A and B are shown apart, each in its own frame.
Chain A
Amino acid sequence: MAKTIEEINKKLESGRAVVVTAEEIIGIVREKGLERAAQEVDVVTTGTFGPMCSSGAYLNIGHSKPRIKLGGGRVYLNDVPAYIGLAAVDIFIGANALPEDDPRNRVHPGEFNYGGGHVIEELVAGKDVRLVATAYGTDCHPRKKLETWLNIRDVNEAVLFNIRNAYQNYSVAVNLSDRVIYTYMGILKPGLGNANYCSAGQLSPLLNDPYYKTIGIGTRIFLGGGIGYVAWPGTQHNPDVLRNEAGVPKRPAGTLAVIGDLKQMKPRWLMGASMQGYGGTITVGIGVPIPILSEEILGYTAVTDADILAPVIDYSEAYPQRKGDVLGEVSYAELRSGRIVVRGKEVPTASLSSYPRAVEIAVTLKEWLLAGKFRLTQPVAPLPGVESGVTFKPLKERPLEE
């Protein structure tokens, strides 16, 4: 029954393709069995919508008259510093950047109500953003100061380029200490007061393709409400982790670097976020279509929340001190029930990634495919797999000599 991506694209063109979401496929496989489902279904769509810190965007703002060389100078967008170690008018704004006068954690916990993620959201929403820049001036770029409103429709390129998104599984965060802690996994109450998790589970892209058999470099995806691509394995991509019998990682594993035209995106799918006491970030919507090329690939997409286990980690001590201790493993079905048991104690759970929005992304991608707005692509190179030798190394610190 093996199909090719080309064959599926032809079926999509002729309107005969069957596309379902990673949630819908579970029931279909249960009802019809793997073999029949694999014959009938052509594409399974996935989705995830959660805070993804290693995200940012680059812009080419166009040349001013007279010209200015921003590279080596300073640039602020709505007071948030942008990176300009690039050519004259290329700038990069990171989701975690903060205004210089933000009090940060000087009074702990800081609020982080506005940062780079919010600037990106406002750009995408079509709002004017204040650009303030200083430069040192050269013979060919004499201008030293620039203050102007900037709108995404006027810049040459605006590109979202996130170097680590869509984590394949993630840890569940708890707090064993006796004080409230403020982490990138949210506010954690003392003495196992709550447990926060952050994955779309059975809808999450890489959990539906655990061995990266279809998702690779060049895969076309839903990104921030527009069309994007997998650019590269994400940073910290770590394929060789503990997995269950079906190959589903039981630890944070693969990641994606993604890229796409910011001008097509929508603020509903790219939203500035604030993690109390931690920092500013951005919530990113990603959806990846999985072509059902074989029964094996379909089998992976039928994964359910009950099959996916995540490690429970103490964020008061084990995480910050980089100790390996895992307090236990829980499934996403347990996490979604609202309660898990850790060290014999019932702990209420909450999610940081939005399941309803993940469903909406998977459904939107399905609609795009069925409406002929979106075609599948053949990856140009695979993501490093389990056998690649790629690992996630800690920093090897070497003290500077006197």
Chain B
Amino acid sequence: MIVSRRIVLRFPRRLVDRPIVYWLIKDYNLEFNILKASVTPDEEGLMVLELRGEQADYDRGIRYLTEAGVRIQSLSQDVIRNEERCTHCGACITICPTYAFEVDPVTREVSFYGDKCIACGLCIQACPPRAMELHF
């Protein structure tokens, strides 16, 4: 079974200069799409990846990353809609490049699909009540 997941990887300082992701392709036969990559001022590496492959390869790949010291989190835990502030206006709808927001044609309520989100952050500025939060 093929699985595809969006995950956030945090590389501790000692791993920042190592080609960790390269080994994911080579040894674990996984496809990846880099959605975001950066090195923070305290030299921690952060990468948002879409990782795709056979479930068994995927699981082995994740185990390899964890054992190497990379912290892994699902992307959906990092981009959050503050439900108290969202007014369901829909200003985010046309701004999101991956169509992660959808309006219900009847109720006009806006749904946020975290699994489609690539954490680009465009919705954060486009949201007038500032309901979208990025927690990296």
Q: Which residues of A contact B (CB under 8 A)?
A: 49-51, 109, 111, 113, 186-187, 189, 193-196, 271-276, 281, 283, 336, 338, 348-357, 359
Contact = CB atoms under 8 A, between A and B. Distances in A.
Nearest to B95: A187
B126 A338 contact: no
Contacts of B85: 271
B71 interface: no
Interface stretch (B46-54, B101-109, B112-120): B101-109
A351 B95 CA distance: 12
B87 A49 contact: yes
Most buried by B among A194, A281, A336, A356: A356
21 contacts: A51-B128, A111-B125, A186-B91, A187-B126, A189-B94, A271-B129, A272-B129, A274-B130, A276-B125, A283-B128, A348-B93, A350-B92, A350-B93, A351-B90, A352-B90, A352-B91, A354-B88, A356-B88, A357-B87, A357-B88, A359-B108
B89 interface: yes
B89 A351 contact: yes
A271 B131 CA distance: 11
Interface of B: 85, 87-95, 103, 107-109, 125-126, 128-130
A193 B96 CA distance: 12
A336 B126 contact: no
Given A194-B95, A338-B103, A348-B93, 7 more contacts: A49-B87, A193-B94, A273-B129, A348-B94, A350-B94, A352-B90, A355-B90
B90 A350 contact: yes
Contacts of A109: 125
State the majority secondary structure of interface residues on B: loop
Contacts of A186: 91, 126, 128
Contacts of A356: 88, 107-109
A354 B125 CA distance: 18
Given A194-B94, A348-B94, A356-B107, A187 B89 contact: no
Contacts of B87: 49, 271, 283, 354, 357
B92 to A, nearest CB: 7
Nearest to B110: A356
Contacts of B89: 50, 351-354, 357
Contacts of B130: 113, 274
Contacts of B125: 109, 111, 187, 276
Contacts of B128: 51, 186, 273-275, 281, 283, 352
A283 B91 contact: no
Contacts of A196: 91, 94
Nearest to B86: A354
A124 to B, nearest CB: 14
Contacts of A349: 94
B105 to A, nearest CB: 8
Given A274-B128, A275-B128, A336 B93 contact: no
A373 to B, nearest CB: 24
A194 B90 CA distance: 12
A233 B113 CA distance: 42
Per CB-CB distance, the 10 closest pairs between chain A and chain B, nearest first, are: A194-B94, A273-B128, A355-B108, A354-B89, A354-B87, A276-B125, A350-B94, A350-B93, A348-B94, A351-B90
A198 to B, nearest CB: 9
Contacts of B103: 338
A351 B92 CA distance: 9
A336 B89 CA distance: 12
A351 B91 contact: yes
A276 B85 CA distance: 17
Contacts of A111: 125
